[in-house]
Amino acid sequence: MAPPIVPADAAGIARAGALLREGRLVGLPTETVYGLAGDATSDTAVAAIFAAKDRPRFNPLIVHYDEAAAVEAHASLTPLARRLAEAFWPGPLTLVLARAAACRVSLLCSAGLDTVAVRVPDHAVARAVIRAAGRPLAAPSANRAERVSPTRAEHVAAELDAAVALILDAGPCAIGVESTVLDATGSRPTLLRPGGLALETIEALVGHVAIDTDHRDGAQRAPGRLGRHYAPSRPLRLDATEVRADEALLAFGPQAPSGARTALNLSPTGDVTEAAAHLFAMLRALDDPRHAAIAVMAIPETGLGRAINDRLRRAARR
Ligand code: TXA
Ligand code: MG
């Protein structure tokens, strides 16, 4: 049975908070994508998140806080982390930090690592729910493992059923791709996953950011196993410059080729930020068995284009 979708008003937020205190799971809007939230301090709630998503236990979860000050009790904020948090929280940046000695976050969230990934989302509803729950919330994207992330409440309902007690609907997510994940355990940052905060913006603050090419967004413990991710059921054909008659087209910019049986444009003006906001919803809309494949035009590797290309390359793996 599909879980109930309710408006993210005061009553909905209070109900979500009560359910989370009982150890239940809630579909939660953030500025990036919808999350599948549970009490990060409860082993049973965190285990239920892994089960609902069919997520491998070696893939750690992000823990969400309503303010930066609340992170201190659970994670060791390095001077680098403090600078990043001050500049970019609340916002689409996740910091991987050493677990603090008194950390109460379930060890399951860390998946056997001695680190914990933390962020403060830039979404009033997400922060209000964290406050109503009275504890940090573990929240991976609210899709089944390896599938396209949800950017609308209806996507969550389509992906996950009875395991979710409630889905709060706050409309489409403004950013549309997941947070940027940075390792900030040392004095220099390493990019683990490109995302909703552009690398250029981070580098303007802290200088060069190293890029970890081994981190495979959820597969760092099992190289190769989960290269495929964010995947629609139709094959993707990347860097398309023309389109075949039996394909759907995911276009970008003003020069879209004609001839597709159906076409959507990520951004007719060629704006990568707008394209990120549309990416997952358009991939879902074009994921129809009537199409032999989805042809996707090239996206520039700048700003949020880096996160878009990362998702498209993983989605294209077979
Ligand atoms: O925007 C987002 O980040 C969304 C919203 C709901 O906040 N959440 C999200 O979670 O994308 P998820 O579980 O789909 O992706 C979490 C990413 C994975 O690449 C995971 O491997 C990485 O963060 N991660 C989590 N904890 C980590 C840790 N301790 N060390 C290294 N990577 C970690
Ligand atoms: Mg995910």
The number of the ligand 1 atom at minimal distance from the alpha carbon of 64 is 7
The pLDDT tens digits of the residues spanning 234-291 come to 999 999 999 999 999 999 999 999 988 899 999 999 999 999 999 999 999 999 999 9
Amino acid identity, residue 246?
A: D
pLDDT for the residue numbered 114 = 96
pLDDT beyond 70 at 221: no
The pLDDT tens digits of the residues spanning 140-164 come to 999 999 899 999 999 999 999 888 9
The pLDDT tens digits of the residues spanning 245-257 come to 999 999 999 999 9
Distance 143 CA to ligand 2 centre (A): 7
Average pLDDT rounded to a whole number, residues 76-84: 98
Ligand 1 pocket by C-beta < 6 Å: which residues?
30, 32-33, 35, 59-62, 94, 96, 110, 113, 115-117, 139-141, 178-179, 181, 192-193, 217-218
Tokens of 62: 């992000």
pLDDT for the residue numbered 181 = 98
Distance 315 CA to ligand 2 centre (A): 12
CA 230 centroid distance within chain: 10
Yes or no: domain 5-211 corresponds to CATH 3.90.870.10: yes
* CA–CA dist 75, 205 (Å, integer): 22
Pairing mode, strands 190-193 and 210-211: parallel
* CA–CA dist 33, 303 (Å, integer): 18
Judge contact between 179 and 197, C-beta under 8 A: yes
pLDDT beyond 80 at 227: no
Tokens of 308: 């878009």
Amino acid identity, residue 272?
A: V
Q: Indicate yes or no: pTM above 0.85.
A: yes
Among protein residues, the one whose CA lies closest to atom 19 of ligand 1? 217
pLDDT beyond 60 at 202: yes
Pairing mode, strands 164-169 and 5-7: parallel
pLDDT for the residue numbered 222 = 38
pLDDT for the residue numbered 290 = 95
pLDDT for the residue numbered 242 = 96
User: Per CATH, the architecture of 236-316 is what?
Assistant: 3-Layer(aba) Sandwich (3.40)
Distance 241 CA to ligand 2 centre (A): 29
Range(s) for CATH 3.40.50.11030 in the chain? 236-316
The pLDDT tens digits of the residues spanning 91-138 come to 999 999 999 999 999 999 999 999 999 999 999 999 999 999 999 999
pLDDT for the residue numbered 226 = 54
The pLDDT tens digits of the residues spanning 4-62 come to 999 999 999 999 999 999 999 999 999 999 999 999 999 999 999 999 999 999 999 99
* CA–CA dist 202, 2 (Å, integer): 40
Range(s) for CATH 3.90.870.10 in the chain? 5-211
